Amino acid sequence: MNPLTLEVACQITTAARLHAQAAGLNATIAVVDAGGHLMTLERMDGAVLASLETAQVKARTAVLFGAPTRALPMAQPVTPALIGGVGYPVAFVPGGYPLRIGAELVGGIAVGGGTSEQDEAAVLAGLAVWERR
């Protein structure tokens, strides 16, 4: 049974939101399953509308490539063939992380709406909940 349940996804999302609030960031947090399908999406009051998309795209990108989005620009050359071949929009910017159990990829989390550093810090707060479970 996959431990990335809706309840756990909500706990991850809450931790990321609380971190963002404490930092004065209005953000959107997304958690997706291993197929990149949305489990939770939370847009904080005042978060820019574009963050609804960027959070989801970063979470899917982390799943599609099985790596933090921060690491991808250096590891993967961006070409039209890559973008078209994936079948989804991708985002090679900080703020998305895969969720794993050992080597098994079970989902992804991302935060959008702030600077790269702000998004990354909030997503790491959510990731910490996942790693403690």
Dist CA 114 CA 27 (whole Å): 7
Query: What are the pLDDT digits (tens) for 66-125?
Result: 999 988 765 555 555 555 555 567 777 899 999 999 999 999 999 999 999 999 999 999
The residue extents of the domains of the chain are: 6-132
* Per-residue pLDDT at 81: 52
Which are the contacts of 82, defined by CB distance < 8 A and separation ≥ 6?
76, 90
- For residues 14-30, give the mean pLDDT: 98
Q: Which amino acid is at 20?
A: A
* Dihedral sign, Cα of residue 117, residue 25, residue 112, residue 104: positive
- Return the CATH number of 6-132, one of 3.40.50.1000, 3.40.50.150, 3.30.450.150, 3.30.720.210: 3.30.450.150
Instruction: Kindly report the pTM of this predicted structure.
Output: 0.89
